[in-house]
Amino acid sequence: MNIRKNLIRTGAALAAALALTPAALAAGPSYISQGLPAVWNAPVSRQIPAAVLTPAAETDWRLLLVNPWNELPEDYEVELATLANGLQVDARIYDDLSAMLTACREEGLSPIVCSAYRTEGKQRQLYTNKVARVRASGVPEEQVEAEAAKWVAPPGTSEHQTGLALDIVAASYQLLDEGQEDTAEQKWLMENSWKYGFILRYPSEKSAITGIGYEPWHYRYVGRAAAAEIHRTGVCLEEYLGRAVLPAAELTPAQNAEAPEGAASSESPLNA
């Protein structure tokens, strides 16, 4: 295993707003996803369990929260391990990732890791490209960045910069769109990834809480104990950590920056 050390520095925070525009929906395929806009307004069908935040969650590297409201710390460092295809992940998740992919392949399936660790520079490039595509699609200028941020996280807010997240696709279907969920590989991963410490990070019904559209290919390492609990209860990471906040569209930037932890997501009107 080839491991090297990287120092990650983040840029200025960019809050992602959640307004969806018809023009954006009509836009062409994005690098990350087309997604289905309907999920943004989908009601949450079950009661959300009470937050289970523990003191350990504040210091556990496996439970690092990076989302539109929580930027990667500027001094975040990650030791990387390189996969067979050259992509890199946090060295601490390498063994569990290898075990998961091996188990998946033993079922006769062909998962492919197509994206893993990204530098801030790479994330900035992806985001800048997405902004340009959204702008070209005719979205009003004041909404361009917010629309782009729903599909490509602004630099500093992407889980891919942590080395704990990866995109996995089926060899037979390598598009990052909703069709991915119908592949045998995704079905297996959605059912079994928790056993290896991974969760499907952006479920369809949690978009308003995660700030990210449905991505049936993006897996996040949280450790086996947390993954088991998250899988069992059906919460997303924000809910598990007791850190779900109102979507940016409903808050001012100042509120975003100081959104209280432990906000009662079950009482939030955002899914109404």
Closer of 216 and 247 to Zn ion (Cβ): 216
For the record, the structure tokens of 243 come out as 């850190």
- Single residue of 167, 177, 185, 239 touching Zn ion by CB under 5 A: 167
Least CB distance from residue 272 to Zn ion, whole Å? 28
Least CB distance from residue 89 to Zn ion, whole Å? 12
Binding mask 193-222 for Zn ion (x = CB under 5 A): -------------------------x----
Which residue has its beta carbon closest to Zn ion? Answer: 218
The pair phi, psi for residue 37, each rounded to 5°, is -60, -25
The Cα 67–Cα 105 span in angstroms is 31
For 27, 84, 130, 194, 270, the CA distances from 217, given in Å and listed in that order, are 21, 19, 19, 14, 25
At 50 the three-state DSSP class reads coil
Least CB distance from residue 160 to Zn ion, whole Å? 6
Residue type, 271: N
For 43, 104, 229, the CA distances from 49, given in Å and listed in that order, are 16, 30, 11
Calculate the CA dihedral of residues 144, 146, 148, 149 and round it to 10 degrees: 160
Binding mask 121-160 for Zn ion (x = CB under 5 A): ----------------------------------------
The Cα 199–Cα 43 span in angstroms is 21
Name the one range near Zn ion by CB under 5 A: 37-45, 85-93, 166-174, 256-264.
166-174
> Which residue bears the tokens 């079905």?
187
Answer yes or no: 215 catalytic: yes
Which residues are paired to 218 by β-bridges?
167
The pair phi, psi for residue 135, each rounded to 5°, is -60, -40
Least CB distance from residue 253 to Zn ion, whole Å? 25
Least CB distance from residue 122 to Zn ion, whole Å? 12
The Cα 74–Cα 233 span in angstroms is 32
Closer of 161 and 268 to Zn ion (Cβ): 161
Catalytic residue among 159, 178, 185, 215, which?
215
Count of residues that interact with Zn ion, criterion CB under 5 A: 2
Closer of 118 and 133 to Zn ion (Cβ): 118
Closer of 160 and 243 to Zn ion (Cβ): 160
Closer of 218 and 231 to Zn ion (Cβ): 218
Binding site for Zn ion (CB under 5 A): 167, 218
Hey, which residues are catalytic here?
A: 215
